[in-house]
């Protein structure tokens, strides 16, 4: 029973942050109409920032998958999976 619950909890833990980010990124039509001059292009700095965040998330997901696999096999991971220090952004 424990082997079926653990992967389920891990899946939920991985999906919750993505769901929250999707809600934050949603733009209402009123907000979209307020900025009609927006272009489809991003600055190089913004691209590099997003690329670095994506690489960090991929590494974190890989570490979490490895930890879940070890737990599923009945072994305890050597150390908790830790990604880079997270910067809290306030707007």
What residues contact residue 10 under an 8 Å CB cut-off, 6+ apart? 64, 68
Confidence label for 78 from pLDDT (cuts 50, 70 and 90): low
pTM given for the model: 0.42
Confidence label for 66 from pLDDT (cuts 50, 70 and 90): very high
pLDDT of residue 43 exceeding 90: yes
Q: Check if the beta carbon of residue 81 is closer than 8 Å to that of residue 65.
A: no
Average pLDDT, the chain: 74
21 vs 73, which has greater pLDDT? 73
Distance CA 76, CA 74 (A): 7
Distance CA 14, CA 68 (A): 11
Instruction: Note the pLDDT of residue 76.
Output: 73
49 vs 16, which has greater pLDDT? 49
Alpha helices (H) along 26-81: 29-34, 44-72
């Amino acid at each position: 029973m424990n082997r079926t619950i653990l992967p389920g909890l891990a899946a939920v833990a991985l999906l919750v942050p993505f769901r929250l980010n999707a809600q934050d990124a949603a733009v209402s039509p009123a907000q979209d109409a307020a900025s009609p001059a927006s272009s489809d292009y991003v600055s190089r700095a913004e691209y590099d920032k997003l690329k670095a965040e994506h690489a960090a998330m991929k590494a974190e997901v890989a570490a979490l998958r490895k930890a879940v696999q070890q737990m599923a096999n009945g072994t305890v991971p050597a150390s908790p999976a830790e990604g880079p220090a997270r910067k809290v952004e306030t707007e």
